Amino acid sequence: MRIAVIGSGYVGLVAAACLAELGHKVICIDKDRERIAALNEGKTPIFEDYLQELLDRHRGTNLRFSTELREAVRESLIILIAVGTPIAVDGDADLSHVEAVTRDIACAVDGYKVIVEKSTVPVYTSAWMERAMVLNGCEREEFDVVSNPEFLREGSAVKDFLYPDRIVVGSNSERALAHLREMYAPLIDGSYFQRADAVPKPDRADIPPVYIETSTQSAELIKHACNAFLAMKISFINAVANVCETVGADIEDVCKGIGSDTRIGPRFLRAGIGYGGSCFPKDVAAFRSAARKHGYRFELLDEVHRINQQQRHRFMKKVRMALWTLKNKKLAVLGLAFKDGTDDVRESPAIDIIKGLIQEGCQITAFDPAAMKRAEEVMGNSIAYAPDPYAAAKDADALLILTEWREFANLDLPRMKQLLNYPIVLDGRNLYSPADMAKAGLNYYSMGRAPLEISHPMPIRPVAE
Ligand code: UGA
């Protein structure tokens, strides 16, 4: 099938590469000329497993890059919109990019097109897009609008696209639904997985995925509700972690007990410094705002957000608790990205915490396996950057772990102890057991567990709100 993908950001680029991998002829459009030139030269602007391989495999054959939207629309049957929907001042999603692209598509249409909304958008966006198409001169029978939300996670986006839990397609048009079934056929019938050159299947993936056809409003709600629910799960476990600290329970044991109930499940129950990234914070706010606009005050989501912000402050209090005063303290920070497996620092709790510590007079030396360049764009030279965790720790007064990178869970702890000025580790992601830290002779402060103070135990001081 001939497919145009408008937007070469995270979702657009991954969708374009994966649809080319499924055998379609894809043209990916962006108005950013430099980005398109770089993509045409074989450069990959984002850090994502398997993306470079897929782009190399299909560039120039199944996959092309261009800035010419009009031509792309004319030569394609399916047009995917994957442009940004940033947060507006009042928590609403800013849909101006979606509207502008819809208008451009309407002006280019010269025959029947299926317009697929892939950006994360509030309920009724598809209806607004239909209206905009007509207002910009398109006949109603020349197009259908479909809501087809994307559920990919940064770091595993390619595998999430090719081995999804489910595919959600919202449309009131049987004709459009049939075209989308054809687009996803290799995933729905499992034939992609049979290919010798397929991207390897993740252990957990079910083949075929659940395929859900529904109304556009339901599809739009599924996306927002899904992200809001996952964010709620994280805030819930963080609230439980805070109770654990006050009563002397261990959040890791509590999580095991809760997560082994199959109705709840163990995923997204990791306590820590809270969620970040370009999706959860924005989508919790946008869902809350959309619900309010349609007459429902979704106050639970206020609390999800509040608990999330509070986790960062609680961590700062722990740093104070461990170090007594902060002014002029030298801190080694491991982790800048908002989570492991990505170079993305947008809404990163790590960056927020670092900014808070700098304000208190701390000097920071940081290391992240992927996000140093991106972090430098935000933090400049307000912090120092180290080439590895040990260089960061040398002569620091404490070691802080702020991102859940796997390599941070396997540090040489005795070596760390030697390098640090004081034997103090603050772990915002619970990557270690207190027993391992005790063995290494390190004082250890984590989330939802009692502080381990080997060198000089202090009276129990629960972290107050
Ligand atoms: C999230 C969703 O997981 C995807 O399904 C969705 O498609 C995507 O948003 C989107 O809307 O585009 P992503 O933002 O890439 O994906 O990251 P997640 O893996 O969900 O992690 C989000 C944040 O939650 C990170 O800061 C992570 O550290 C934190 N987290 C995650 C926890 O604190 N605890 C957990 O148990 C899990």
Block residue for tokens 């070596």? 415
Residue 177 has pLDDT above 90, yes or no: yes
Question: Averaged over 187-202, what is the pLDDT?
Answer: 96
Does residue 122 or residue 183 have the better pLDDT? 183
Question: Averaged over 343-367, what is the pLDDT?
Answer: 97
Going from the Cα of 252 to the center of ligand 1, the distance in angstroms, rounded, reads 19
Question: Averaged over 71-76, what is the pLDDT?
Answer: 97
Ligand 1 atom, smallest distance to 152 CA: 7
Q: What is the pLDDT of residues 148-167, one digit of tens each?
A: 999 999 999 999 999 999 99
- Report the Cα–Cα distance between both ends of the chain, in Å, rounded: 56
Q: What is the pLDDT of residues 77-102, one digit of tens each?
A: 999 999 988 888 778 888 999 999 99
Q: What is the pLDDT of residues 1-35, one digit of tens each?
A: 999 999 999 999 999 999 999 999 999 999 999 99
The pLDDT, as a whole number, for residue 47 is 84
CA gap 159, 182 in Å, rounded: 20
Residues with CB under 6 A from ligand 1: 120, 150-154, 227, 230, 234, 268-270, 272, 274-277, 279-280, 338-339, 404
Going from the Cα of 182 to the center of ligand 1, the distance in angstroms, rounded, reads 30
The pLDDT, as a whole number, for residue 354 is 98
Catalytic residue among 28, 244, 279, 362: 279
The pLDDT, as a whole number, for residue 459 is 65
The type of residue at 83 is V
Going from the Cα of 227 to the center of ligand 1, the distance in angstroms, rounded, reads 8
Q: What is the pLDDT of residues 393-411, one digit of tens each?
A: 999 999 999 999 999 999 9
Q: Crossing angle, helix 280-293 and helix 299-323, to 10 degrees?
A: 150
Residue 460 has pLDDT above 60, yes or no: no
The pLDDT, as a whole number, for residue 465 is 65
Q: How confident is the model at residue 55 (pLDDT cuts 50, 70, 90)?
A: very high
The pLDDT, as a whole number, for residue 462 is 61
Least confident of 286-290, 303-307, 415-419: 286-290
Does residue 457 or residue 392 have the better pLDDT? 392
Look over the chain and give the mean of its residue pLDDT values, rounded to a whole number: 95
Residue 204 has pLDDT above 90, yes or no: no
Going from the Cα of 275 to the center of ligand 1, the distance in angstroms, rounded, reads 7
The pLDDT, as a whole number, for residue 85 is 87
- Residues of the chain above pLDDT 70, percent: 98
**Which among 427, 364, 446 has a CA at the least distance from the CA of 397?**
364
Q: HEC profile for the chain?
A: CEEEEECCCHHHHHHHHHHHHCCCEEEEECCCHHHHHHHHCCCCCCCCCCHHHHHHHHECCCEEEECCHHHHHHHCCEEEECCCCCECCCCCECCHHHHHHHHHHHHHCCCCEEEEECCCCCCCHHHHHHHHHHHCCCCHHHEEEEECCCCCCCCCHHHHHHCCCEEEEECCCHHHHHHHHHHCHHHHCCHHHHCCCCCCCCCCCCCCCEEEEECHHHHHHHHHHHHHHHHHHHHHHHHHHHHHHHHCCCHHHHHHHHHCCCCCCCCCCCCCCCCCCCCHHHHHHHHHHHHHHCCCCCHHHHHHHHHHHHHHHHHHHHHHHHHCCCCCCEEEEECCCCCCCCCCCCCCHHHHHHHHHHHCCCEEEEECCCCHHHHHHHHHHHCEECCCHHHHHCCCCEEEECCCCHHHHHCCHHHHHHHCCCCEEEECCCCCCHHHHHHCCCEEECCCCCCECCCCCCCCCCCCC
Catalytic residue list contains 244 = no
Question: Averaged over 56-68, what is the pLDDT?
Answer: 97
